[in-house]
Structure 1
Amino acid sequence: MLASQAAQKTLEPPQKLTKIEMRYWESIITSRALDSWTPIDQQRAVKLAKLYVEIDDYEKELATQARRWVKTDTGTMKMHPLHYVIEDLYKREIQMCRSLQIHSRATNGESRDQVKTNQLYQDARTAINDDDGLIARVLN
């Protein structure tokens, strides 16, 4: 029963986020049990949400730059610099996910303690989302 109550609660970000950042915040926060988020974890989750938006922006910019390769002043071809920027941002994203223990290994395997908690939470959340409105809910 505790897992179903926890799955009904939401966690507000510690600072104001844009609508797009909020979408990422919700995905990040719901990836593990809400009561496991410390204040510093929440701050990191905000930074990760902002990082995802930054990655999206650079990928959109790159999509408008039709060329993957650019010619330098000396005439040699090299990869467009935005590819390197995006690659670095993805490396930061991976590091932040590891720090927050929301990477695949932590949420799906080998981090046995976290896996059970996350699974109970996800099962309760799925049951709530699939219910017919007859289940009593906790109001925030």
Structure 2
Amino acid sequence: MKPKRQRSDSAKAAVAAHQNAAQAPIEPPKCVNLPAECRPFWDAIVTSRSRDLWTQADLLMAANLARTQYGIELTQVGSDAHAKLTRLAMALARSVAVHPTATTGRAADQVDANTLERNARNAPDDDLIPRAH
């Protein structure tokens, strides 16, 4: 029987999230050859999901996605190779649940957050709210 997953809105989940966030990104599995040039992509991929939800199989796919993302950077935009790698990256992102819907939610659910930020960006300067200039 599978252990029961803890609720994401519990105090225990909040503590785990803070502990996970304080750690360095997950290292690639030992069986994976991940060139140093792919590491920034790897770090972005594995930190986009909760640390304790990654399985070894997911990490293998994440390495493929990191190598694919690096490959996209090396190919000419608009070329057939670029298009193929982009499609592959999208499929791999769905496979390991690091696509936008999985990481930030449905676009319809983001409207309020986007509106708040846009309004804050357009608000007049306020001495109580620090701004980057």
Give TM-score scaled by structure 1 length.
0.59
**Could you tell me which residue of structure 2 aligns to residue 37 of structure 1?**
54
Question: Aligned equivalents of 1:36 and 1:88: distance in 2?
Answer: 29
Could you list the runs of 5+ residues in structure 2 that have no partner in the other structure?
1-14, 107-133
Comparing both chains, which one has the higher relative contact order based on Cα–Cα distances under 8 Å and sequence gaps of 6 or more? 1
Paired residue secondary structure (2:52): helix
Aligned length: 89
**Could you tell me which residue of structure 2 aligns to residue 51 of structure 1?**
68
Identity of aligned residues (%): 30
**Could you tell me which residue of structure 2 aligns to residue 138 of structure 1?**
none
Which has the larger share of helix?
1
Q: Compare CA radii of gyration and give the structure with the larger one.
A: 1
**Could you tell me which residue of structure 1 aligns to residue 18 of structure 2?**
4
Cα displacement (A) at 1:13:
0.4
Which has the larger share of strand?
1
**Could you tell me which residue of structure 2 aligns to residue 72 of structure 1?**
none
2:48 corresponds to 1:28: no
Give TM-score scaled by structure 2 length.
0.62
2:97 corresponds to 1:90: no
Question: Aligned equivalents of 1:85 and 1:58: distance in 2?
Answer: 7
RMSD: 1.5
User: Which amino acid in structure 2 is aligned with residue 25 of structure 1?
Assistant: W
User: Which amino acid in structure 2 is aligned with residue 92 of structure 1?
Assistant: L
Q: Deviation string for 1:44-69 (max 9, x for gaps)?
A: 0001111111111113xx6xxxxxxx
